[in-house]
Amino acid sequence: MNKSELFIISLSFVDPAILLGLPAVIIPIVIHLWNRRRHLEMNWAAMEFVLAALAIERRRILLREYLLLLLRMLAIALLLVAAARPIMESPAVAMGYQIATGWIFVLDDSLSMEQFSHGKSCFSRGKDVITHLVKNAGPADAFCLLKAAQPPTWEVELAISDRQAFLQIVDQIKCRHTRNDWLACLEAVLTRTQRLREECPHLTRFVVVIITDGQREPWNQAIKSQGAALSSTAEELGRRAEFIVCYVAGDRDSNAAITALEASPLVCTRNEETGIAGQITVFGGTAQKPATVEWLIDGVKTGESRVEWKSPETGVFIWSYRPSRTGDHVIEAIFPDDQLTIDNRRAVVISVRDQVRALCIDGRYSPIPFQGASDYVRLALAPESTTSKTGTIEVHVIPEARLPEADITGFDIVLLCDVAQVTSGDVQLLANYLRLGGGLVIFGGPRVQTAAYNRAAEPQDATRPLLPGRLEGITNAANISTGMINTRHPIMRILAGWEEGGLTHVPVRNYLRFQPLNSVPSEIVARYSNGDPFIVAWEYGLGRGVLITTSADTSWTSLPLWPIWVPLIQEIKAWVLSGGLSARTLVCGQPLSLSMALRSVRNAPTILLTDAIGKSWREFAELVDGTWQWKYTHTDWSGIYKVEVDSGDGASRQVALFSVNTPLEEADLRSQGWEEMVQKGLHGARTISAELVSQILEGPVQHGSPSGNALSRMFLLSLLFLIIIEVVVAHVGKK
């Protein structure tokens, strides 16, 4: 006989103990015999005629009774077998044929997998688990591989059986520094499992193995925010395949990381002092607390700072720096290696210029000192300069009538001081300016026409209003002063100690009542004593805007005469200038982007990108809404990204630096309670340690086996069919 013609069926049961009840199939026979013993046989005269008639039908009656007994016994047997949940592993060829398995490996390549585990990283141990399973898999098995870090990426999507080629791919994978998106991972695996059955019909067993480090926080966040979708997806996956979560635990749960680093101002001039503050957080409580941090400027060590531990979990450090060279610079803080070394450093990008250029649009322009609406602002912006065009900031003042013809793209900050109205053309001009990263500051005043500004707040031909709310007219109230401030906002952070003698008690005679729009994100930085908004800040594209609802001179308030005036204007200037540059300090997974107002350039500018691991390539910008735009989304590794822009017009290349930092949640390596949480949140999955991973090779996981469910349903349907036949046979026999 040909081997291909000889088949065997390998059958197993999820609950084989139920099969111990199979002797119950004799119950119908026992009942039948018992009923026969209950009747007393008596001979009477007419009985002879009855027996004579029965002798004719005896064979038919016995056949019906035996058939009923057989059907009832078979019904009991089918009920017990269905309850035991049978599993048909596969029809296999009798002579040495093995089950063909489709393996889908999901490798956690997020930042936390770089922690140490038994002398090597968890990521390396995870790859060892895959290698072990692949080497010991069946000869006809096929393999797929998904990288779990955000965004989930198929390294091997079409299943391959060449294990040597597959292992070479596994060996070349590097751990990324992004976070996980477990729901997207499971959805991708579920779709792939469904298609794999169609693409590879020879596969009779499917196994999904997630290899992770058991970090609690990402799973906790996923279950909290996406619990229902995550659970249903996992349950469906468990019905279609054997679903296993294998964990390669790290040596320790504790870890210290730099969780915050801020510089102010982000845009400064040469030799202007920049302050940098940072924070170190200890997760787990037992990690060694660093006493100092080192400071690197463009990769060169420049200084050190002591860490002050405000609590057992939190330490802070500060430093100041006076840059001497113009251009973009990377300020980096670093402390010695620990359990996870990559999050021991954090960086921020600052931009150093020869001068900062400001344009004041004066609604009451006057050549007489302090008679115009912008004189006090100009003086506060450049207090060290008497000519306003020397020093670190260059201030230009023009009357309101010249706004439509002004080229504001050449200025870093634009200030509107008591400007009566803004036309639709002005709105478009200012919106494009903000979108490209400019800074806009608007002051109220007696000439402001609220209707014109409200049209800017609700434009008819723009997708987003220029202003984050409506002006509801001028308020004239007695005994009003500046009041509560939001010290959490960067503008007010430095003024936190000035409440009593500074910004909270300045008399105000008039102001513009402002009503925020819920559809436009904004933040009220300061209020008046009656609760109305005093200073409002918002972001627009890459730019930032600030609205001060009172005047910039003494027509409505005495604020310009108070000592707090100059610090306030300087902080507003620093915050709005940082708008475009704040997009240069990112977290892994966030895109790099540039917007370029190159009106004279007709051909797409060339972008030369060098990523954090030193790889370089060229791309082209795209023309969007009249400006050249460029975006890069694959920020998988932390570090410095360098972008060189060649406009092709013969001018020198522009260089922009981006600092991409590690995700904060990946620094928390604690895993306590993770296994119970996963078992509760992912129905259909079971967890196993890396040391016991060989159990996966021994046979199918019984829990949630699709073949078991299908066979049980088949046996139950057969039972229903038998009951119907039994009823029909019994009914026909009585006639």
Residue extents of the structural domains in the chain: 3-85+712-734, 101-252+682-689, 269-276+288-340, 356-582, 585-661
Rounded to an integer, what distance in angstroms lies between the CA atom of residue 303 and that of residue 296?
7
In 3-state terms, what secondary structure has residue 490? helix
Contact assessment for residue 522 and residue 468, using Cβ atoms and an 8 Å cutoff: yes
pLDDT score at 548: 96
Helix (H) or strand (E) run with residue 409 in it:
none
Residue 74 has pLDDT above 50, yes or no: yes
Contact assessment for residue 595 and residue 627, using Cβ atoms and an 8 Å cutoff: yes
**Terminal Cα distance for the chain, rounded:** 51
CATH assignment of 585-661, among 1.10.760.10, 3.30.70.1450, 3.30.300.160, 2.60.40.10: 2.60.40.10
User: 155: burial class by Cβ within 10 Å (0-12, 13-18, 19+)?
Assistant: middle
pLDDT score at 727: 74
Residues 6+ apart with CB under 8 A from 78: 715, 716, 718, 719, 722
User: 8: burial class by Cβ within 10 Å (0-12, 13-18, 19+)?
Assistant: exposed
Rounded to an integer, what distance in angstroms lies between the CA atom of residue 575 and that of residue 567?
12
pLDDT score at 704: 39
Residue 56 has pLDDT above 70, yes or no: no
The 3-state secondary structure of 505-533, one letter per residue: CCEECEEEEEEECCCCCCEEEEEECCCCE
pLDDT score at 48: 62
160 conformational bin, left if phi > 0, alpha if psi -120 to 50, beta if neither: beta
pLDDT score at 448: 93
Of residues 388 and 251, more confidently modeled: 251
Residue 702 has pLDDT above 60, yes or no: no
Rounded to an integer, what distance in angstroms lies between the CA atom of residue 58 and that of residue 39?
19
Rounded to an integer, what distance in angstroms lies between the CA atom of residue 257 and that of residue 373?
49
Rounded to an integer, what distance in angstroms lies between the CA atom of residue 313 and that of residue 282?
5
pLDDT score at 649: 62
Of residues 704 and 54, more confidently modeled: 54
pLDDT score at 97: 43
Residue 695 has pLDDT above 90, yes or no: no
CA 354 remoteness from chain centre:
39
pLDDT score at 701: 43
Residue 93 has pLDDT above 50, yes or no: no
Q: For 18-22, 174-178, 599-603, which range has the lowest pLDDT when averaged over its residues?
A: 599-603
Residues 6+ apart with CB under 8 A from 184: 150, 151, 152
Residue 142 binned pLDDT confidence (cut-offs 50, 70, 90):
very high
Residue 333 binned pLDDT confidence (cut-offs 50, 70, 90):
very high
Other CB atoms within a 10 A radius of the CB of residue 511 amount to 24
pLDDT score at 460: 53
Other CB atoms within a 10 A radius of the CB of residue 473 amount to 11
| 202-260 pLDDT tens trace | 888 899 999 998 888 888 888 888 888 888 998 889 888 989 999 888 777 788 999 99
Rounded to an integer, what distance in angstroms lies between the CA atom of residue 409 and that of residue 347?
29
* Token pair for 190: 């579920």
In 3-state terms, what secondary structure has residue 452? helix
* Token pair for 228: 């229902």
CA distances from 77 to 354, 659, 720, 724 (A): 91, 69, 13, 16
Domains 356-582 and 585-661 share a fold: no
pLDDT score at 59: 65
Mean pLDDT (the chain) is: 83
* Token pair for 412: 């870093």
pLDDT over 70, % of the chain: 84
Question: Alpha-carbon torsion 87, 91, 95, 97, what sign?
Answer: negative
pLDDT score at 38: 53
Q: How many CA atoms lie within 13 A of 301 on its CB side?
A: 7
Q: What is the mean pLDDT of residues 635-656?
A: 83
Q: For 238-242, 508-512, 718-722, which range has the lowest pLDDT when averaged over its residues?
A: 718-722
Task: Quickly name the fold that domain 356-582 has.
Answer: Rossmann fold (3.40.50)
Residue 391 has pLDDT above 70, yes or no: no
Residue 708 has pLDDT above 60, yes or no: no
* Token pair for 58: 């005896």
Which single residue is written with the structure tokens 């030369």? 608
Residue 546 has pLDDT above 50, yes or no: yes
CATH-assigned architecture of domain 101-252+682-689: 3-Layer(aba) Sandwich (3.40)
Residue 68 has pLDDT above 80, yes or no: no
pTM, rounded to two decimals:
0.75
| 399-447 pLDDT tens trace | 998 888 888 888 999 999 999 988 888 888 888 888 888 999 999 999 9
| 152-165 pLDDT tens trace | 999 999 999 999 99
Contact assessment for residue 143 and residue 103, using Cβ atoms and an 8 Å cutoff: yes
Which single residue is written with the structure tokens 């294998």? 246
Q: What is the mean pLDDT of residues 480-505?
A: 78
Rounded to an integer, what distance in angstroms lies between the CA atom of residue 449 and that of residue 51?
118
Rounded to an integer, what distance in angstroms lies between the CA atom of residue 353 and that of residue 270?
6
Residue 680 binned pLDDT confidence (cut-offs 50, 70, 90):
confident
Rounded to an integer, what distance in angstroms lies between the CA atom of residue 544 and that of residue 527?
19
pLDDT score at 387: 44
* One-letter amino acid of 595: S
* Token pair for 16: 């084989």
Q: For 74-83, 215-224, 292-301, which range has the lowest pLDDT when averaged over its residues?
A: 74-83
Of residues 545 and 700, more confidently modeled: 545
